[in-house]
A and B are shown apart, each in its own frame.
Chain A
Amino acid sequence: MKPDADNIRKGVYAAVAVLWILAPLYLDKYWTDVLNNVAIYAVLGLSLNIILGYGGMFHMGHAAFFAIGAYTTAIVNTAWGVPVLWLMPFAGIAAGVFALAVARPIIHLRGDYLLIVTIGMVEIVRIALINNVFGITGGANGIFGISPPTVFGWKINGIVAPGHYFYLLTVFLGATIILFYLLEHSRFGRALKFTCSDEVAATGSGINAAGYKLAAFVIGAVWAGMTGTLYAAKIGFISPESFSFWESVIMFMIVILGGSGSIPGVLLGAILIIGLPEVFQGLQQYRLLIFGIVLVVMMIFRPQGILPPRPRKYPVDKFEKQEVSL
């Protein structure tokens, strides 16, 4: 069989997946933990991708949903000792409900106006956390003593054994990739992308554009909230500065740099945006300067993102056959 582009790509994906899964065997704890961060931000990027990539909504406040998930987990876990993994759905629901409440009045805003509103949202959330809103967020100190997750009675401690946590995150990341792939190719995904590329035509075709956009916003938020659980349980301690506007910018860059609307692109974006500053650790105070230059250069060379979504293919032979049968 002649290797065509499709098979090569599949081969590369498989090789990367194998390399990823075996990573803790050949990497030390530090690089494994870098991959843990990559995995967390990859899931966050994928969840933002639904809003920004498929839905086309300029959303630069995703850290707000991440924060709500993480804080829900931290508060309930430290107050009542509920195991953290049980709290994942609750963290997701909390973030989703918040997103629903916030998004309803602002979803009709266009482009840059939506951008600043989402920035405002993430800043309001951060300021609320810092000011110890309702007396439960611990203010600037944050919340500490969040217990590590337990799977079948086995404690997975992200601090002591990043390699164990790596597999927990990998399972979640893998599930996310599969689910979002199915979503992308579902009726919902197609309608959402249609809405994004031409809202008027989509509405004309009977698509409830506002409804789909709102749904995308909520799905993205739920997923970011659930990721918040895994983040809080990993580091054992959360504080407001982990959920600043800059964190939202990082997620935004992951999606756009990798390739807006493309799952492999977002994954690569997470590897680059989270991994490169660590690769440059040896440069000490120069590392962010180089990181910034790399960012600009990559954007210039791949303006659509490094791995943009591939156009849908309609194989000619399929149509030819249909013609014959007519």
Chain B
Amino acid sequence: MEVFFTQLTNGLAVGGIYALIALGYTMVYGVLKLINFAHGDLFTIGAYLGLSLLTSLALTDHVGAAAGIVILAVMVMGLVGVIGILLDRAAYKPLRTSPRLSAVVSALGASIVFSNTVMLVYGPNPKVYPQGILPTTVFHVFGLPVPIMRFVILGASVILMIGLYVFIQRTKIGTAIRAAAIDQDAARLMGINVDRVIMLVFFIGPALGGAAGVMVGLYYGQIKFTMGWIYGLKAFTAAILGGIGNIPGAMVGGLLLGVIESLGAAYISMAWKDAIAFFVLILILIVRPTGLLGERVAEKV
């Protein structure tokens, strides 16, 4: 039983990161119905930019660990957000009125460009975040040792999710985003600047990915130029699992995917871990064709 709960927390820790990346994925999807395959690579860029800023500015030495990390995360989010806007301008905006899958291929091309740029700029070897910045305190919850960083990651995911949810549901800009998500032409007629909304979405989505990149770098220590592809695929899976376009859905999907992977690896087969996760996904989609929290809407083609 102890092992079971340990594995559960292991799964939640991984799932928290999937959820964080899935948030940005689902946000872009919600408005543009675009599967942004380059999202995982924006996450990678966030991790590498975070490393550059961390080592060059030595923020954590000047203002302490917690404040330093927050400042770092904000800077990276800003930079990756700008990259996101540029990506949209260069690769997606010309395809706004084209068949949806054209933008998917453009996204795949952008993904190749990003990951190879990172490889050429930073070199193909894995890079390492400096150690000893994060606290390594271990909590005991019902007798189980849980490192504090797991709470931090899960907490950060939850806070970002709630913040995003409130922003979308309660603010005026959020209403504009929702309106644009439902019907861009109608939104335009209501006086909403849809281009501005899309720009904002392409700032927030990649910025969240960038934040996830910094968090992965800090927590796991090792970053690789190829990691975006794997994390991107997992985040896409998580977003679909929860119902793509739905913000709480991304959170639920991410955590659930992490737990399925962890328990599948522990109790069924380690080597078949990813296959088990996909199998569960397929089963869930057969029963609920639009994901766990997805709304049953007619498809817009």
Contacts and interface: CB of A to CB of B under 8 A. Distances in A.
Direct contact of A and B (CB under 8 A): yes
A105 B286 contact: yes
A293 B113 contact: yes
A124 B279 contact: yes
A260 B301 CA distance: 15
B210 to A, nearest CB: 20
Residue of B105, B233, B286 with most partner-chain A CB within 10 A: B105
Interface string A120-153: 1101100110110000000000000000000000
A109 B285 contact: yes
B102 A256 contact: yes
B116 A295 contact: no
Contacts of B244: 112-113
Interface string B116-141: 11011000100000000000000000
11 contacts: A58-B101, A106-B282, A111-B299, A253-B105, A288-B112, A289-B120, A292-B110, A296-B106, A300-B94, A300-B106, A304-B99
Nearest to A300: B94
Interface string B265-301: 0000101101100110110011001110000000101
B102 A299 contact: yes
Contacts of A130: 271
Nearest to A295: B109
A295 B282 contact: no
A296 B116 contact: no
Interface in A280-303: 285-286, 288-289, 291-296, 299-300, 303
B91 A300 contact: yes
A295 B285 contact: no
A124 B275 contact: yes
Given A119-B278, A296-B113, 14 more contacts: A106-B285, A109-B289, A110-B290, A111-B301, A112-B35, A124-B279, A128-B275, A285-B120, A285-B124, A286-B116, A289-B116, A293-B113, A299-B91, A299-B106
B111 to A, nearest CB: 7
Interface string A25-63: 000000000000000000000000000100000100000
Nearest to A254: B105
A106 B101 CA distance: 20
A291 B110 CA distance: 10
A291 B105 contact: no
A300 B286 contact: no
Could you tell me the dominant secondary structure of chain B's interface residues? helix
B285 A292 contact: no
A257 B101 CA distance: 9
A52 B101 CA distance: 10
A245 interface: yes
Interface centre among A52, A130, A252, A256 (most CB of B within 10 A): A256
A220 interface: no
A116 B236 contact: yes
Interface in A73-131: 105-106, 108-113, 115-117, 119-121, 123-124, 127-128, 130-131
A304 B98 contact: yes
A285 B124 CA distance: 10
B31 to A, nearest CB: 14
Given A120-B278, A256-B105, A113 B285 contact: yes
Nearest to B111: A292
Contacts of B79: none
B108 A113 contact: no
B240 interface: yes
B104 interface: yes
Interface in A231-263: 245, 249, 252-253, 256-257, 260
A285 B117 CA distance: 10
B95 A300 contact: yes
Given A110-B299, A127-B272, A292 B278 contact: no
